[in-house]
Chain A
Amino acid sequence: MSNMTRPDPEQLLRRVQAEDEFRKHGRLKIFLGYAPGVGKSFRMLDEGRRRRLRGEDVVVGAIQAGPSPVIQEILRKMELIPLKTVAGVPMIDVNAILRRRPEVCLVDGLAYDNPPASAHAKRWQDVEELLASGISVIGSVNLQFIEELRDEVERITGREVNDTIPLSFVKMADEIEVVDAPADMCKEGGVMLRPEATPADNQQRLMELREKALLLAADVVDHQLETYLQRHGIEQLWGAQERILVCVTPRLRASTMIESGRRNADRFHGELFVVYVNEPDLRPDEHASLEGNLSLARRLNAQVSLLESEEPIHAIMEFARQHGITQIFIGHSSRERWWHRLRGSFVDHVIREAEGMDVRVFPN
């Protein structure tokens, strides 16, 4: 994380502001929760309230039905642009908000579907329109409404979800903030649960959802960091995530290594890469063993890459540096040759070259 000339924060701020001016685009901030009742709406409104105290022009564009007494208390001090109801379905009043032109609009429940035949089918598309017209939006959404996570969440909760927002919308937010709370604090979380299951089972489900929300936020943050580093021309030398690289060869029984790589990557919630440096003229048995290893890697959702190079170690190290690898897994060659004693084996060379990374050597 160094070797970089970092501009001072004021300079950074000016640059970011300049970019924003240029884009004339509102900023989007999303509060992400893992279940109803963790307190997203409260946090969103609380931020709106504080911004208003600081002199920003804030309105409330949407709030969920049946607000708690605490929320009602905050709402009394805020300006509301009421939802309009079309065919019995509530939707934000985009035109009224555009006419009012606040600096910031609060929009609860980003995943709601609009009534049929509306200008936009989804509330988040209304939000895009507000953003495009230069109004900043602070919104809230629960994990289960993210389209890409729908299957996983349904597996956990056994409940079908209809209204969703795409993950890309969450990822393009300028800011995302996790609303975290212990599973047993989440009073209305019961909505998410299976009535037939025991309380302990349901508690487990909430914890699983909570973990997913935290990891999703970590991924979004990771993505933002990459963008940030690129924008400022900084080379990333180190990340917060474990990234494991397994090196396979045709002569290696690599299945233990690949499986261990998968298990380690999962435990660290990290990423798994498998590389093979192409060698010409493989024997049929070598070819078969290689194919076996690579197909196992793909089955275990590793990111598999074939490298072309005359110098395998050089190619592996370059790949490792480019991908921010933190751990390299290699195997002993099947037998030790006499020249290894003199010049060092493949393993010796990898250990020597792998500056800044852990190297784990596996039995063959």
Chain B
Amino acid sequence: MPDASPSSHRGLLKIYLGYAAGVGKTYSMLQEARTLARQGVDMVIGYFEPHNRKDTIALIEGLEIIPRKRIQYRGATFEEMDTEAILRRHPAMCAVDEFAHTNVPGSERCKRWEDVQVILDAGISVLTTMNVQHLESLNDQVWQVSDVRVRETLPDWVVKQADEVVMVDLPPTALLNRLRRGQVYGPEKAQQALQNFFKESTLVLLRELALRQTAHQVDVRYVEQEEPAATYPDHEVRALPATNHIVQPSDRILIYVTADPSSAMLIRRGRRVADYLRADCFAVSVHPDADLRRMPAAPRERLEKHLNFARNLHIETRLLQGENPAETLVDFARLHQVTQIYLARARQALRMPVVGHSLVQQVVRLARDMQVTIVAERRRQPEH
């Protein structure tokens, strides 16, 4: 970590990225915390989840720990990170486990990453841990691979903002051995884990995702550091692998959002592709009546949830008024120099019997001058 001295600037954020519990994220984070403390950095532990792991617990010896805050919820006591106490103590740097954690209701902020933003804003640098499956844009893919819908997610832009993302790697066979030796969970939970999330093929895939994600984070950072390069017209793309560092005339991606549940998946996919292509990304919804309040409550709530979700991922949203969604969408796209329209693929049951009448077909036909991407429904095949 570069300069970590207290200042009026925003703190630096470093993320230890893994692909499952037990790969050694917390261990690596605390090891660095120790090293820095030994070098004289004013370091505290803001939150630490021991999970009964002996090696890890040994590492916090001698480090200052900010006591957790107790919160009463429905008659039970929960413990959360005490952000206000950290701010009062104001160290140069703070180690915070489990970046993607959701706080118990009644906490100041919903998510731990929001707490971390507050700590960073106060000029305190943060070391933190997360798994690749906590990235919002990978939620559907992770579900496909593992059959687990990860609920504790964080928006990709939060990770992109980090000053450093470091991969904590461990081969899955070694992880499985740790699990069997009882070094990750207690015996009962370990057995459960082996039968669910911790299947070798699942772990291998998640590991590959984490490696590629870290490579992408490195890529993003060094492209940002490069001088603003000249833009190249399409035909000058070179065959060399180095092409990924040519800055292209920027793509503009437009996501068509509806009340249909497929919209969430579409927004994640659009966001992910936009991030990789370094494209602008916005989302629109089309209605005959611009005043949503006159819409039936159930679909309106779903639609608002989707638009809100898009905004949380830093996607600009717009409500468009129009009788014909396909025409309104394509006109808007043309007016705003959109290069790609993102649509969800109509599901089997909803598909129009007559060819040419589905929204997808109408848009494809109307937008012959731009690219239209029809996003597949990511779903698991029936297991048996």
Contact = CB atoms under 8 A, between A and B. Distances in A.
Nearest to A259: B237
Given A200-B225, A264-B277, A358 B373 contact: yes
Contacts of B205: 1, 225, 238-240
B364 A178 contact: no
Interface string A198-226: 00100110011011001101100110110
Interface in A335-356: 336, 340-344, 347-348, 351, 354-356
Interface in B221-262: 221-222, 225-226, 234-235, 237, 239, 241, 243-244, 248
A232 B200 CA distance: 11
A301 B40 CA distance: 51
Given A9-B176, A351-B374, A185 B360 contact: no
Interface string B263-290: 0000001000000111000000000000
Interface in B346-372: 355-356, 360-361, 364-365, 368-372
Given A6-B199, A9-B200, A358-B373, A180 B166 contact: yes
Given A178-B167, A203-B225, A9 B364 contact: no
B306 interface: no
Given A178-B167, A240-B205, A267-B244, A363 B369 contact: yes
B198 A9 contact: yes
B226 A262 contact: no
B218 A217 contact: no
B266 to A, nearest CB: 10
B364 A207 contact: no
A177 B243 CA distance: 28
Contacts of A181: 166
Contact of B276 (A3, A8, A268, A356): A268
A354 B345 CA distance: 10
A262 B241 CA distance: 10
Interface stretch (B89-97, B206-214, B326-334): B206-214
Given A211-B215, A264-B277, A332-B368, A228 B204 contact: yes
B2 A204 contact: no
Nearest to A5: B384
Give chain B's interface residue range (CB within 8 Å of chain A): 35 or more
B167 A221 contact: no
Given A182-B166, A214-B214, A218-B215, A358 B269 contact: yes
B216 A269 contact: yes
B383 interface: yes
Nearest to A299: B239
Contacts of A232: 201
B1 interface: yes
B82 interface: no
A218 B211 contact: yes
B346 to A, nearest CB: 9
Interface of A: 1-3, 6, 8-10, 12-13, 29, 152, 174-182, 184-185, 200, 203-204, 207-208, 210-211, 214-215, 217-218, 221-222, 224-225, 228-229, 232, 234, 237-241, 255-256, 259-260, 262-264, 266-269, 299-301, 332, 336, 340-344, 347-348, 351, 354-364
Given A256-B234, A344-B356, A358-B373, 10 more contacts: A9-B195, A178-B211, A185-B1, A217-B169, A267-B278, A336-B365, A344-B355, A356-B376, A358-B375, A363-B369
The 5 closest A-B pairs by CB, nearest first: A266-B244, A240-B208, A214-B215, A218-B211, A175-B171
